[in-house]
Amino acid sequence: MILTRPGNKRRIAEKIHPHFPDHDLFIDLFFGAGGMFFNKPRAKHNIVNDYDSEVFNLFDVIIHRKEELAHFWEQMPIHEDLWKYWKQHTESDPIRKAARFLFFSNFSFMGRMTTLKFDRSNTYWLVLMRLKEVQQQLQGVQLMNCDFRQVISRISLRDRYAEAGGNKKAFIYADPPYLDTKGGNYEAFTKKDSIDLFDCLVASNCRFAISEFDHPFILELARGRGLNVIEIGERQNMKNRRTEILITNY
């Protein structure tokens, strides 16, 4: 893993993925830092999506232009002046855009891209070391950059993934921004977003799982659609302790 982001599933992936069914096609609707993808057994076919263009650009660059990104990173000063400059300026060049995103993610408090931090964990060198590993893990993975509502309709499960069993062997995992929480670098999810997500997944005719907190509105949506709720354990967010749950249709 190469990104630090709020809500990253890296630490609890081993508690979640044992609840996943056997599948040949894995679809990740909210890829983010890839906390689940990089820490679960790899499926034969993988599609990962994120609506954030920064996320999409970074992993696309790692797949296709890793050496250029590594060279730029090696020449890049880790300095407060660069932080201030990039806070005021965006980048259009894919390499510089990816480096800027990595810089903010790895050198800010909790990956929230608000406060610069320096630590003794050799973050600078760890990023370089992990570029090759992440590139290898993403080989053969299809990247998408669209709203979650559009993902399923753009994937021809029956035709393109017939050898993977189409809908029968496809599994969709959704780890959206949790309702009533707000990260430093993503838009808050609304109740309408949550309703749309549940409805899209139910209509997909695929097996699916949704990560969320035990928010009363989320539990109501799950009960109303006859879905199963699995308690994963307690997690601490910025305000209080909440129970992490996994909602499934299998």
| pLDDT score of 8 | 75
| pLDDT score of 250 | 97
| pLDDT score of 119 | 64
Sketch the domain layout of the chain as residue ranges.
13-51+146-248, 60-137
| pLDDT score of 202 | 97
Homologous superfamily (CATH) for 13-51+146-248 = Vaccinia Virus protein VP39 (3.40.50.150)
| pLDDT score of 131 | 96
Per-residue pLDDT reduced to its tens digit, 162-202: 566 667 799 999 999 999 886 555 678 999 999 999 999 99
The residues pairing with 212 across neighbouring beta strands, listed in sequence order, are 245
| pLDDT score of 187 | 72
Mean pLDDT per 10-residue run, the chain (250 residues)? 80 96 96 96 97 97 98 92 93 98 85 67 86 96 96 77 71 94 71 98 96 97 98 77 95
| pLDDT score of 39 | 96
